[in-house]
Amino acid sequence: MKSSGRLLQNRIRCILGCLWMLALTQPAWALDQVTLQLRWMHQFQFAGYYAALEKGFYREAGLAVTLKEGGPGADPVTEVLSGRADFGIGVSSLVIDYLKGKPVLMLGPVFQHSPNVLIVHGRDKRPVDLARNREGSGSSPGKITLMGGDQDVELKAMFLDEGIALDKLRFVPDERHLDDFIERRVEALNAYVSNEPYTLNQAGIPYTVLKPQTYGMDFYGDVLFTRRALAADQPARVAAFRAATLRGWRYALDHPREIIDLILEHYNTQGKTREHLAYEARELRRLINPEVIDIGHSNPGRWRHIASTYARFGLVPADQPLDDFFYQPEHKADLAWLYRALAAILGILLVVSAIALYIHRVNRRLAVAVVEKSRSEERHRIIFQTSASAGIVWREGFIVTDWNRQAEIVFGWKREEVIGRPFTEFLLPANERERLLPDLERMLHENILPQNINHNLTRDGRAITCEWFNAWLPERPGEPREVVSLANDISERRRLEQEVQQLAFFDPLTQLPNRRLLRDRLSRLLASLRRDGGHGALMFLDLDNFKPLNDTHGHEVGDRLLVEVAGRLVACVRESDSVARFGGDEFVVLLGELDGDMRLANAQAEHVAGKILARLGEPYQLAHADGARCVEHRCSASVGVALFAGAEDEENALRRADTAMYCAKASGRNRVSFDVSASRDDGGAQRRTGGYALRRVLGRENLVPALPSHSR
């Protein structure tokens, strides 16, 4: 009897197991049909989607996925919003579409750093070179190919950030892509840093890569998105597609050779070689950075920075909320599939057998979870030690508990030298320690993990600039909670940013502010005068007889004169005033904080103008480039002065000073011409003084004596 009962029980369990497997197995017609619009033609850029499709991750999620190949004319946003595709792969300009009212929903970026670059013919090219005529040809600027719509906005923003108007450039549609570039039908080409450079290197074609990151625009790349209506109507489908996609990307990055074989066999529409695909895989892994950041991770603060960058160039409204831009996954588990399976087998499922089967499955999952946890810890340990970022693990009291190999390379200390020591004692300079300690304490007690940039010390005493990323490690019972901090040395990037700032706002010869910076300071001064009252003055200076010096002794001697003039001008004014070079032998002096009474303000301006004429009239000793001889040169200047108040228009003030300068030059040079016509809010005062000194021309002998209120 016992043997018969045991046999019956085994048969029942076998039948239940078969029914359970049949319930879980879904035929093709039962899968949800979805379409993904790729941004470009098939290549390793989409390896995660190939992996999810070929390894059955989409099918396990109940999805039958069709991949639509892209190309030069592809516009994933249009395809998704029109319903011809359910999901698409875009770029960071997706936030522009959202802020313009398009119902897009960002599901997560695959690339933490955008691979989107602009490739230009020749070596050491800059954005400004594309706005110039081709050398010696007299033709218009070279053609620049970009993707359709707003897909390459970050490349356009790169030009705007350099002060280059887009109407000075020749943008053309991308037709034959790399063929047009190689055959010189276009001068610049939108490209991925992981793709086109390989072909150009193999062909030996010289080129320059212009990266938006170099100009302060470190955006996301290959952003997975859908339309909001789909997420609202079918949240389970969107969640399943996103989860299966991220799983596919993890598999592809862990098995690049297998995926390359897959592409060569089924997806190689571009005819790429294995070496080309391997190059692409290496470059994309660096952009995805899976050792440090989870695939699909999205930082709302970084998205707001991207939106503000676009707003700064007038592409979108400023300070708009992004709440509905981000995908919010459903935290409640979708058990609909379980209910359907239970309904299918409810008639034959016995209560005792169901409980036994359930317990068996739970125990099996628990055993697998224990094994996976051990493997995961070992895997994360390997990733931490081989990371390209300097990594430290620390706990309360800032005590270092781990220190990876890259940290030894970047900072110089060996692991055994720092374990158990507070990193604040040796890694932070004194001033940074005082500034950062409150933030570090708040990280521990308020569960805040900010991304920050600060100076750090190395073992040999150097100070470097690092960008830090922080994350909590999983808690272990009975042990203090720990933080892992990863750092990248960005000292060189900061140095390049400072050089760009210097080139953008200062004259490279005299180191004086240029036209752009002077206009900014004039605008600020006018705002201050409108708020607090008083007067300001603009002085336009043009050196007399500068051209003969250049013609006789050469441009190098002329440049030395301009540098000497700049130094003398700065010595004649206060630190709160501004001296700028407008180009050639023209300089501008901006005076602020002059008296509220127009007559006294005019006298103060006359005093400064007199100092300038006297100082510029002193002899100059200008050395030749060979240093063997020195040229003595005397120089005078024609000066135009415009007095203004807060109601003055910026352009009008510049025009008045310029006109006054030409009046001084026409009156015999070595003169100061004053245009003190009152601004709108001084109209009454002008009428009461009978139109005081609308324009006067004074030689050095007629200028007023020194006034203490504006002496240096």
CB atoms inside a 10 Å sphere around CB 225: 24
Q: How many residues does the chain have?
A: 712
The CA distances from residue 155 to 127, 158, 192, in Å, are 10, 5, 12
Whether 57 has a pLDDT exceeding 80, the answer reads yes
Q: Tokens standing for 55? A: 């390894």
Strands 170-173 and 143-146, by their bridges, are parallel
Provide the pLDDT for residue 366: 64
Residues 70 and 73: their CA atoms lie apart, in Å, by: 8
Provide the pLDDT for residue 442: 77
CA–centroid distance for 581 within its chain: 31
Strands 620-623 and 630-633, by their bridges, are antiparallel
Report which of residues 225 and 583 the model is more confident about: 225
Encoded amino acid at 404, one letter: N
For the stretch 147-205, pLDDT in tens is: 766 667 788 888 887 888 888 888 888 888 888 899 899 999 989 888 889 999 999 99
Provide the pLDDT for residue 351: 82
Report which of residues 627 and 170 the model is more confident about: 170
DSSP H helical segments within 56-102, as ranges?
Answer: 57-60, 76-82, 94-99
- Angle of helix 300-312 relative to helix 153-161, nearest 10 degrees? 60
Radius of gyration, alpha carbons of the chain: 35
Encoded amino acid at 683, one letter: G
Residues 136 and 549: their CA atoms lie apart, in Å, by: 29
C-beta of residue 598 within 8 angstroms of C-beta of residue 643: yes
Question: φ, ψ for residue 105 (rounded to 5)?
Answer: -130, 120
CA angle 6, 8, 14 (to 5 degrees): 105
Nearest-CA neighbor of 491 among 458, 517, 524, 518?
458
Nearest-CA neighbor of 59 among 85, 91, 33, 22?
33
Provide the pLDDT for residue 422: 92
* Residue 28 DSSP symbol: G
* Residue 63 DSSP symbol: E
User: Which domains does the chain show, CATH number per domain?
Assistant: 30-109+222-325 (3.40.190.10), 116-215 (3.40.190.10), 389-489 (3.30.450.20), 506-710 (3.30.70.270)
Provide the pLDDT for residue 446: 73
Place of tokens 């010696």: 136
Q: pTM surpassing 0.85?
A: no
Query: What is the pLDDT confidence band of residue 137, given thresholds at 50, 70 and 90?
Result: very low
Place of tokens 């809010």: 681
Q: Where are the beta strands (DSSP E) in 134-184?
A: 143-146, 170-173
Who's near 12: CB < 8 A, 6+ residues apart? 350, 353
Query: What is the pLDDT confidence band of residue 687, given thresholds at 50, 70 and 90?
Result: very low
Query: What is the pLDDT confidence band of residue 682, given thresholds at 50, 70 and 90?
Result: very low
Query: What is the pLDDT confidence band of residue 635, given thresholds at 50, 70 and 90?
Result: confident
Average pLDDT over residues 272-279: 93
Average pLDDT over residues 120-136: 77
Average pLDDT over residues 52-65: 95
Burial class from Cβ neighbours inside 10 Å (0-12, 13-18, 19+) for residue 336 reads: exposed
Residues 654-692: b if buried by 16+ CB within 10 A, e if exposed: bebbbebbebbbeeeebbbbbbbbbbeebeeebeeeeeb
Residues 156 and 165: their CA atoms lie apart, in Å, by: 9
C-beta of residue 37 within 8 angstroms of C-beta of residue 80: yes
- Characterise 554 by phi-psi region: left (phi > 0), alpha (psi -120 to 50), beta (else): left
Question: φ, ψ for residue 434 (rounded to 5)?
Answer: -65, -35
DSSP lists the bridge partners of residue 621 as 632
Nearest-CA neighbor of 693 among 658, 656, 668?
656
* Residue 580 DSSP symbol: E
Q: Where are the beta strands (DSSP E) in 519-636?
A: 535-543, 578-583, 586-594, 620-623, 630-633
Place of tokens 């990280």: 443
Encoded amino acid at 593, one letter: E
Q: Of the ranges 76-85, 465-474, 502-511, 623-632, which one carries the lowest mean pLDDT score?
A: 623-632
Residues 112-134: b if buried by 16+ CB within 10 A, e if exposed: bbbbbbbbbbeeebebebbbeee
Torsion of CA 6, 7, 8, 13, to 10 degrees: 90
Query: What is the pLDDT confidence band of residue 708, given thresholds at 50, 70 and 90?
Result: very low
